Amino acid sequence: MARVNGHLNRRDILKGFGLGALGLTLGGGSFGSAVIRAATGSPLVGEGQLYKKAAGPAKVSLVKGNDCRDIVYQALKKIEDEVLVSIGDKKILIKPNFVSTNRQLAATHVDAIRGILDFLTPHYKKQIIVGESTPSRAGAFDGFKNYGYLALEKEYDVKLVDLNTQPWEYRYVIGRGNRPIPIRIISTFFDPDMYIISAAKMKTHDRAVTTLSLKNVLLGAPMCDSTGNDKRLTHTADNFSREAVLHYNMFHLAQEIYPDLGIIDGFEAMEGNGPVSGTPVDARIALASLDSLAMDTLTTKLMGFDPSQILYLTSMAEAGMGQSDLSKIEILGTPTEQCQYHFKPNQRMIEPYGLAS
| Residue 187 located in a structural domain | yes
| DSSP helix/strand/coil, 88 | coil
Question: Residue 237: which H helix or E strand, with range?
Answer: none
Smallest Cα–Cα separation from 208: which of 60, 325, 352, 318?
Answer: 352
| Residue 33 located in a structural domain | no
Smallest Cα–Cα separation from 150: which of 175, 1, 158, 32?
Answer: 158
| Residue 42 located in a structural domain | no
pLDDT in tens, the chain (357 residues): 333 333 444 444 333 322 233 333 433 333 322 222 223 233 434 455 566 566 889 999 999 999 999 999 999 999 999 999 999 999 999 999 999 999 999 999 999 999 999 999 999 999 999 999 999 999 999 999 999 999 999 999 999 999 999 999 999 999 988 899 999 999 999 999 999 999 999 999 999 999 999 999 999 999 999 999 999 999 876 667 787 899 999 999 999 999 999 999 999 999 999 999 999 999 999 999 999 999 999 999 999 999 999 999 999 999 999 999 999 999 999 999 999 999 999 999 999 999 987
Smallest Cα–Cα separation from 337: which of 131, 64, 6?
Answer: 64
| Residue 41 located in a structural domain | no
Measured CA to CA, the distance from residue 44 to residue 56 in angstroms comes to 15
- What are the backbone angles phi and psi of residue 260, rounded to the nearest 5°? -80, -30
| Residue 132 located in a structural domain | yes
Measured CA to CA, the distance from residue 128 to residue 39 in angstroms comes to 28
Find the CATH number of the domain harbouring 59.
Answer: 3.40.50
Instruction: Indicate the number of domains in the chain.
Output: 1
| Residue 25 located in a structural domain | no
Which structural domain, as residue segments, surrounds residue 185?
53-353
| Residue 269 located in a structural domain | yes
| Residue 28 located in a structural domain | no
- Residue 266: how many CA atoms within 13 Å on its side-chain side? 34
